[in-house]
Amino acid sequence: MILPIMLPSFKKIFCFLIMLLAFVLAGCATVPKDLLKLPEGYLEKRQLQMRKYDTIDREKVISAVAGVLQDLGFILDESETKVGFVAASKKADATDAGQVAEALFLDLLSALAGTYSNYSSQVDAVQYVKASAIVKPSLDGKNTVVRVTFQRVVWNKNNQINRVETINDAKVYQKFFDSLSKSLFLEAQGI
């Protein structure tokens, strides 16, 4: 009995050619020059968001972070002590009088032109501010480092998201870290 010669199927050949083409094209790709370059202002933002504290008791620092966020009106969403993570959020008014006046003026102009558009419904109404904090030991293990970020999601009167942004206001971070420093000091003094 003669065994038929096993020829590769068309599907196998096609798959092999596709893979070969993918490898050839991938080999032609170049790495962008600025791939590993940090974005402009990265170090300033990082310094704004981080502080080092003279303690190695991470659990006390995590507890203080949660307490400070609650004192600032946030509601704790998540807290994972083992990894040093705390997340919180709060709802706040986002109404801006200038934005409301501009929308009313545009509504009036569009009504007079006969092409009424409801600009007033696009005005900022509510914002949700989210805070995320990471508490970890310093590289030398003698201190604890806290990094916090604040973001906000702004909703308009139509209940649509107008924008999502990271808050980079130094006053917000300074207020948080001042309160955290006071809390840790008072706890260390047993007050």
Q: Which pLDDT tens digit goes with each residue over 165-176?
A: 999 999 999 999
Which amino acid is residue 56, in one-letter code?
A: I
Q: Which pLDDT tens digit goes with each residue over 179-189?
A: 999 999 988 77
Q: Which pLDDT tens digit goes with each residue over 68-93?
A: 999 999 999 999 989 999 999 999 87
| Burial of 131 per CB tally in 10 Å (0-12, 13-18, 19+) | buried
Cα torsion through 181, 185, 188, 190, rounded to 10: -130
Above pLDDT 90, what percent of the chain?
Answer: 47
Whole-prediction pTM: 0.70
Query: What is the pLDDT averaged over residues 131-155?
Result: 94
